[in-house]
Amino acid sequence: MRKDFIKTFFVGISVVLFLIFVATATAAVLHVPGEYATIQDAINVASVGDTIIVAVGTYTEWQSSDSASLVINKSLYLQGSGDDCIIQGPASANVSSMSYGDLVKVSAAGVEITGFKFSGATATETEQRGATMFAIKANTADNLYVHNNTFTFYSQNSLQVQNSIDVLFENNRCLRETRSVWYKPPGVEPGSYRDITRGGAGPSLWHCNEAEVKENSVTTRGVGIFLYGCSDTLLEGNQVSAPEKVSPSDEGIHIQSSSNITVRGNTVSNFTHGDSPYYNQGIKGAGIWISSGCDTITIEKNGLIDNSVGIYASAREDLSSPTNIEVHQNNLTGNAHYGVLNIKYPLAGSWKHWDYHLFSSADSTINAELNYWDHQSGPTDLIGTYEVPICNPDSANDLNSDGEGDKVSENVDYCPWLDSPYSPVISVAIDIKPGSDQNTINLSSAGVISVAILSSDTFDATTVDPGTVTLAGAVVKMAGKSEKYLSQERDVNGDGLLDLVCQVLTAAFKIEPGASTAVLEAETFGGQSIRGEDFIRIVPNN
């Protein structure tokens, strides 16, 4: 039995290695236009896993049966040559479907697209049909990676993805552009050229899991990033803005019927409410909008700036409010109506998204502790009748009518708050083994290493939480069964300021041989991250 198992195991491994070898050996690199006149020609000839490299140029192609410039139906790596490598939407007086065309359609897993400029179609008097809806449209396209591209002059989204797992949209630029376009709708005589602005919206994800949207720039009056029915998705490091505050604009980030979504380190600005011919209730002007059907939404370390509402959570009055919303370490500044709004809107009747007096209370509470509200006094609590001399979340009188920062609605737990803007990481000075110039460390030691976090005129080291301190991955030792960390406040460098000295477990150091510096990371009791480093010298075992 044992020998049969071993034999079967090694036969199986051999087959897998053979298949990998064959796949690697047969993967080809195809060049456009060097070997193939068009990109679609290369796609049609390519095998699964091949690479297509496209040289500088403008490529105007059209696949009539799919209403798209390009169709990708197999796993491929499609590589352009930068902004001078343009996939251009065509215009045609003869193809009616061109009115609703896309630039690229993807219907296969394992597709990567990078290094292109996607430019939508422009209608002219002689080629009157031409309007690109989506630059890239994908369905059931797992493992889709779209990065380092520029998108412009499309009417909907730079990327729409449906029913897909493991999608990454990273380091892309989504631009608005104004062009002179021939305009002649049915019944209008004569036609004329008009300046039309299109483009700028980021990705739209429908029923996608394990997606990431990172480090993109988006400028739109519509919706910057759209999620519907998604889970386990990260939005991080994006710059999302409306072009200006004087014109109405909808939402920077839209989250609907989704769960386990993290929104981290984005800047969302200039979204302002106003009337719209397309929506009876107008448009919200929200930095981030969260709808009913959402659960476990984490919003942290973002800048929500100069919107009508920074974070707008809402549900129809007959539905449940979104649940488990965590909002922490954000800078909510200059949001004209609310920093955080948590409401239910009417089931019927005539109302607008800014008719706040018509709304009722949400049936869940947003945890919005440790945010900066544009003033050290905290947010303005419009229903507050008490001051908060000491911020106590358990107090029945935890209201802040005298706060001068962005406003909050009911069912928002904003206490405690940050009294200065959140900064992702503050650099601080540290001193490993205070009083020693050698900073020698024997990694085999079962003892502790002292490290001092030094105070300065602008930083108070005694505000650091010892429980968050790590030095080269090692944590602060606890004193016996007391569950107290071995740390003390004392002036180690004679500058008259109290420093924080922590005893870190030597055996827990995670450091590479030959390393000459050790990094300390920690947080203050107010949630501010800090970082410092000092030189070390690793000594051999005795």
Two structure tokens written together for 478: 């606890």
Cα–Cα distance for residue pair 397/142, rounded to 1 Å? 51
- For the entire predicted model, the pTM comes to 0.78
The answer to whether residues 42 and 35 touch, using CB atoms and an 8 Å cutoff, is yes
Output phi, psi for 168, to 5 deg: -130, 120
The answer to whether residues 492 and 431 touch, using CB atoms and an 8 Å cutoff, is yes
The reported pLDDT for the residue numbered 98 is 38
Domain boundaries, the chain: 220-424, 426-538
Cα–Cα distance for residue pair 91/85, rounded to 1 Å? 19
Quick one: which of 342, 339, 312 has its CA closest to 404? Answer: 339
The reported pLDDT for the residue numbered 398 is 55
Cα–Cα distance for residue pair 56/79, rounded to 1 Å? 11
Cα–Cα distance for residue pair 530/430, rounded to 1 Å? 11
In the block, tokens 């409306």 appear at 242
Angle made by CA atoms 463, 469, 473, in degrees to the nearest 5: 165
Maximum Cα–Cα distance for the chain, whole Å? 94
Output phi, psi for 150, to 5 deg: -120, 135
The reported pLDDT for the residue numbered 80 is 97
Handedness of CA 236, 239, 245, 249 (dihedral sign): negative
Q: Which CATH number fits domain 426-538: 2.60.40, 2.60.120, 1.10.600, 3.90.105?
A: 2.60.40
141 DSSP β-pair partners: none
Handedness of CA 367, 371, 375, 378 (dihedral sign): positive
Strands 448-453 and 430-432 come out as: antiparallel
Q: What residues have CB less than 8 Å from 362, skipping those under 6 apart? A: 313, 314, 315, 321, 342, 343, 344, 410, 411
The answer to whether residues 207 and 229 touch, using CB atoms and an 8 Å cutoff, is yes
The reported pLDDT for the residue numbered 232 is 98
Two structure tokens written together for 516: 């000459």
Cα–Cα distance for residue pair 227/477, rounded to 1 Å? 44
Ordered per-residue pLDDT tens for the chain, 542 residues: 333 434 443 444 454 444 444 444 578 999 999 999 999 999 999 999 999 999 999 999 999 888 899 999 999 999 999 999 999 988 764 544 435 689 999 999 999 999 999 999 888 887 776 678 899 999 999 999 999 999 999 999 999 999 999 999 999 999 999 999 888 777 778 888 999 899 999 999 999 999 999 999 999 999 999 999 999 999 999 999 999 877 888 999 999 999 999 999 999 999 999 898 878 888 899 999 999 999 999 999 999 999 999 999 999 999 999 999 999 999 999 999 999 999 999 998 899 999 999 999 999 999 999 999 999 989 998 775 444 444 554 444 556 777 899 999 999 999 889 988 988 788 899 999 998 877 888 877 778 989 999 999 888 999 999 999 999 888 998 876 667 899 999 999 999 999 999 999 888 888 766 667 889 999 998 778 899 998 888 876 65
Cα–Cα distance for residue pair 120/131, rounded to 1 Å? 7
Quick one: which of 166, 50, 70, 48 has its CA closest to 116? Answer: 70
Helix (H) / strand (E) element for 361: namely strand 360-361
Output phi, psi for 3, to 5 deg: -65, -40
What is the SS3 assignment for 482?
Answer: coil
The reported pLDDT for the residue numbered 101 is 82
216 DSSP β-pair partners: none
Strands 286-290 and 251-256 come out as: parallel
Helix (H) / strand (E) element for 195: namely strand 192-199
In the block, tokens 């405690």 appear at 416
